Amino acid sequence: MTALTMPDLPPSPSIDQVGVHERVARLASRSIKKDAKVHALKLALSMIDLTTLTGADTPGKVKQLCTKAKQLADPGLPGCDDLPHVGAVCVYPTMVPVAKRELEGTGIHLAAVATGFPTGQYPLPVRLEDTRRAVEAGADEIDMVISRGRFLAGDVAYVYDEIAQTKAACGPAHLKVILETGELSTYDNVRRASDLAMHAGADFIKTSTGTVSPAATPEVTLVMLQAIADFHRATGKVIGMKPAGGIKTAKQAIQYLVMVRETLGQHWLHPDRFRFGASSLANDVLMQIAKQASGSYQSGDYFSLD
């Protein structure tokens, strides 16, 4: 595939690190009670991407994850009889056919981590073919990783090109571009990579693969949300956001939703525009929903052992 020519892009603004930390602290202090909290918990559940991405993945393990995805909407506990399904199940491209069969007719999206996840250290033609095969097998969404080494070396034209070509290879599937913010070192780099990905055609920008520490943080997420807000004002385009890795509790999830609401507005509080890459989050969200109904905590074992 022929390389593309990167257009002249507007410069990304410098990030006020102190200002980012102060704003995150203020937003984290917000408190949500009663009915509003239940609504937020259900919303968070609808935004979770359940994921299995290990070298030990088998068809049986993927089927188990898909079964969990279907059962989370009706776990049979107090207050949990009117729940949304999760946003997506995310697997390696080789497991897409298995997950596709299991999720048929559920409304749950199927995502695949193509493009040589998690490192991206493969030739671009190989990564593009990986993407096309995943979409042909039934993936609704592709989570790609950018070449962080190229970006940090200043070869932003290469990164723009790989994102644009991957977007073209996605066809009808949505493209989520993983920046791997834990390797980008500075907020200025995160902002520049966010802007680059959106201009190159990303439908979502995503913090992390979950294999690098730190993964998602509220501060990095705020920088990316502000980039989305500025891009929307400049172009009118709606870009989604996905923090991934390290979000384990319902309390954390609600803090992220507050941040989205305050930065982007109510319009972004929808699974088509915001996701959590946090499989372990689902159980805690369900425990909190049941607690709001019954007044007491259920064991996490009642929901899922995985």
CATH number of the domain within which 102 lies: 3.20.20.70
The span from the first CA to the last CA of the chain, in angstroms, equals: 41
Is the pLDDT assigned to residue 230 strictly greater than 90? yes
Is the pLDDT assigned to residue 81 strictly greater than 90? no
Is 25 within the bounds of a domain? no
Q: Which residues span the domain enclosing 154?
A: 31-294
Is 185 within the bounds of a domain? yes
Cα torsion 204, 143, 165, 123: sign: positive
Is 135 within the bounds of a domain? yes
Is 92 within the bounds of a domain? yes
Q: Are 83 and 43 in contact (CB under 8 A)?
A: no
pTM, two decimal places: 0.93
Q: Would you please indicate which residues are annotated as catalytic (active-site) residues?
A: 143, 206, 242
Q: Are 294 and 78 in contact (CB under 8 A)?
A: yes
Q: Are 213 and 39 in contact (CB under 8 A)?
A: no
What domain count does the chain have? 1
Cα torsion 56, 61, 63, 66: sign: negative
Percent of the chain with pLDDT over 70: 93
Is 74 within the bounds of a domain? yes
Is 301 within the bounds of a domain? no
- pLDDT number for residue 301: 55
| 130 — pLDDT class (breaks 50, 70, 90) | very high
Between residues 299 and 136, which one has the greater pLDDT? 136
Is 17 within the bounds of a domain? no
* pLDDT tens for each residue of 139-151: 999 999 999 999 9
For residues 46 and 274, what is the distance between their CA atoms, to the nearest angstrom? 10
Is the pLDDT assigned to residue 136 strictly greater than 90? yes
pLDDT, averaged across the chain: 92
Residue position matching structure tokens 């109904």: 293
- pLDDT number for residue 95: 97
Is 15 within the bounds of a domain? no
Per-residue CA distances from 194 to 11, 165, 184, 198, 227 (Å): 12, 17, 11, 6, 7
Is the pLDDT assigned to residue 246 strictly greater than 70? yes
- pLDDT number for residue 118: 93
Altogether, the residues listed in the chain come to a count of 306
The mean per-residue pLDDT over the stretch 197-205 comes to: 98
User: Edge-to-edge, what's the strand order for the sheet holding 88-91?
Assistant: 49-51, 88-91, 109-112, 141-145, 174-178, 204-206, 240-242
* pLDDT tens for each residue of 38-67: 999 999 999 999 999 999 999 999 999 999
- pLDDT number for residue 79: 65
- Burial (CB count within 10 angstroms: exposed 0-12, middle 13-18, buried 19+), residue 2: exposed
